Chains A and B, each alone.
Chain A
Amino acid sequence: MIHSIFTIAAKDFVSELRGKEMVLSMLVFSLMVAVVFNFALPPGSDAIEEAAPGILWMIFIFASVLGMNRTFVYEVDKGCLQGLMLAPVDRVVIYISKLLVNFSFIFLVELMVLPLFSIFFKLDFATGIWPLLFVLFINTLGLAIVGTLFSAISVNTKTREVMLPILQFPVTVPIIMSAVEATSAVLQGQEWSVIWGWSKIGIVFDVVFFVVAFHTFEFVIEE
């Protein structure tokens, strides 16, 4: 199982390195939104510290949807999903490998955007970088878990570009809440117990939805 997961994921990494469709679109979108908010909220204004976690996660969530929309589109358009489904591997292997790829690319874009966001808004992320990375990890994983499952559903609909955010946003409300509040706590230099308290919501979300996705993906992908 592990061998097949990494085989599919490695293929997607190589394919993305050549096509650069997913990472580039997420990165450009993130930078554009950051620039727009930089004009709306000039650096040094009082509103920035309060709004920054919300803006940051809004960027990450919309960018992740943009990227995850591509997850199965490429497979379906070229008929390759059938090729994967014909291989003697469990359907859930396809899900986990796609989850791994989605998570890696979203997290990579977040790591690239974070320093730029810090420069644009004159925010100090360096002080609480480890708690911040922890918050990013937990909540990005949640977005990828749900987004990978829903992108498999939306890819077979006519309005697939619109369908993913419509399906995903209502479900990810707990993640958005956990992510924004925990990031806010990091930026305000609050104690670890506060950050951990909010992050627990993200962790529970990740576990619950991974179990749901694990058991439902086969039905989602088959017909």
Chain B
Amino acid sequence: MTPNVERCAAVSTHRLSKTFGAQYALRNVDLEVQAGEFVAIFGPNGAGKTTLIRILSTLTKATSGEVVIEGHPLNKDSGKIRCKIGVIGHQTFLYENLTAEENLKFYARLYRVKKANDRITQLLRDVGLETRRKDQVRTFSRGMQQRLSIARSLLHDPSLLLLDEPYTGLDQHASKMLTSWLTRLRERRQTTLMVTHDLERGVDLADRIAILVRGKVVFNDLRANVDRSAFRQVYYDLVEKHNRQR
């Protein structure tokens, strides 16, 4: 990572909160993701991980607090922010009646990607789906759909990638491919924020690790300061401790 890159926060949240009725999904979350950093956020079900991703991706409005992405306040510049982010979620956002190529062309037009055909060809080659470009997505396995989803999310060359449980529903082979893809993105210094249950994969990929429990960030440290073998126990202890504080 270059020093220049290190100084710039790609994502910054300050006292970010989200409530659904009387229930807090997020509570005063302060988080910074530096440009080029891969951040993994872990947490049990209901911790607020998906809510955090939805807010950062402009799909849900925060109840209070501030979010700044690449220098743009989220509440004012959501349009600009959407141009800069790519999202991979539980669902693929792909149309099953359309072919792989048509899906990517559709999103390329919405994002006004220049030289879209070249970009689509390159991405389909990268995710190993070039030979299936004319096939409808309904004929794809879950793993292939997720690979196409990765291509879709990278189509407009986003500076920030948000991943919401990207391993959901993938078999071992597809998971391995996704991991190798994420590793390549990390090596390219693609700024990435991933929320996942998968401790081992998350720890291996991340530059920084955070744990979210009941809407609060209870742990946030560089991966270099974390002992991989002891992390699972640290995670369980923190989750148990903060769940007890009901």
Q: Which of A12-20, A156-164, A167-175 contacts B (4 or more CB under 8 A)?
A: A12-20
B101-137 Cβ-contact flags toward A at 8 Å (1 or 0): 0100011011110000000000000000000000010
Decide if A223 touches B110 in the complex (CB within 8 Å): no
Decide if A85 touches B59 in the complex (CB within 8 Å): yes
| Chain B residues with CB under 8 A of A7 | 106, 109-110
A19 contact from B60, B82, B97, Cβ within 8 A: B97
The distance from the CB of A152 to the nearest CB of chain B, in whole angstroms, is 15
Contact A80/B83 with A88-B110, A222-B60 known, Cβ cut-off 8 Å: no
The distance from the CB of A88 to the nearest CB of chain B, in whole angstroms, is 4
- Give 8 closest A-B pairs by Cβ, nearest first: A79-B91, A83-B93, A87-B110, A88-B82, A7-B109, A15-B97, A18-B97, A88-B83
Q: How far is the CA of A14 from the CA of B110 in the complex (A)?
A: 16
Decide if A87 touches B107 in the complex (CB within 8 Å): yes
| Chain A residues with CB under 8 A of B79 | 88, 90
Q: How far is the CA of A88 from the CA of B156 in the complex (A)?
A: 11
Task: Provide the main secondary structure of the chain A interface.
Answer: helix
Decide if A11 touches B57 in the complex (CB within 8 Å): no
Decide if B61 touches A79 in the complex (CB within 8 Å): no
Q: Assess whether B16 is interfacial by the CB under 8 Å rule.
A: no
A82 contact from B61, B91, B106, B112, Cβ within 8 A: B91
A86 contact from B57, B80, B96, B112, Cβ within 8 A: B57
Q: Assess whether B52 is interfacial by the CB under 8 Å rule.
A: no
Task: Provide the main secondary structure of the chain B interface.
Answer: loop
| Chain B residues with CB under 8 A of A19 | 97
Decide if A14 touches B98 in the complex (CB within 8 Å): yes
Q: Find residues 1-58 in chain A having any chain B CB closer than 8 Å to their own CB.
A: 3-4, 7-8, 11, 14-15, 18-19
| Chain A residues with CB under 8 A of B39 | none
Instruction: Count how many pairs of residues, one from A and one from B, have CB atoms less than 8 Å apart in the complex.
Output: 72
The distance from the CB of A76 to the nearest CB of chain B, in whole angstroms, is 10
| Chain A residues with CB under 8 A of B212 | none
Q: Assess whether B94 is interfacial by the CB under 8 Å rule.
A: yes
| Contact count band on A | 20 to 34
Q: How far is the CA of A89 from the CA of B57 in the complex (A)?
A: 14
Decide if A222 touches B82 in the complex (CB within 8 Å): no
| Chain B residues with CB under 8 A of A11 | 95, 98, 102, 106
Given contacts A83-B93, A88-B80, 4 further A-B contacts (CB under 8 A): A7-B109, A7-B110, A78-B93, A78-B95
| Chain A residues with CB under 8 A of B58 | 85-86
The distance from the CB of A3 to the nearest CB of chain B, in whole angstroms, is 7
User: 19 A-B Cβ contacts within 8 A?
Assistant: A7-B110, A11-B98, A11-B102, A14-B97, A15-B95, A15-B97, A18-B136, A79-B89, A79-B90, A79-B93, A80-B93, A83-B94, A83-B152, A85-B59, A86-B59, A86-B87, A88-B80, A89-B110, A222-B60
Chain B, residue nearest A19 (CB): B97
Q: How far is the CA of A88 from the CA of B57 in the complex (A)?
A: 11
Q: How far is the CA of A223 from the CA of B102 in the complex (A)?
A: 29
A110-137 Cβ-contact flags toward B at 8 Å (1 or 0): 0000000000000000000000000000
Decide if B59 touches A82 in the complex (CB within 8 Å): yes
Chain A, residue nearest B87 (CB): A86
Q: Assess whether B179 is interfacial by the CB under 8 Å rule.
A: no
| Chain B residues with CB under 8 A of A3 | 109, 112
Chain B, residue nearest A83 (CB): B93
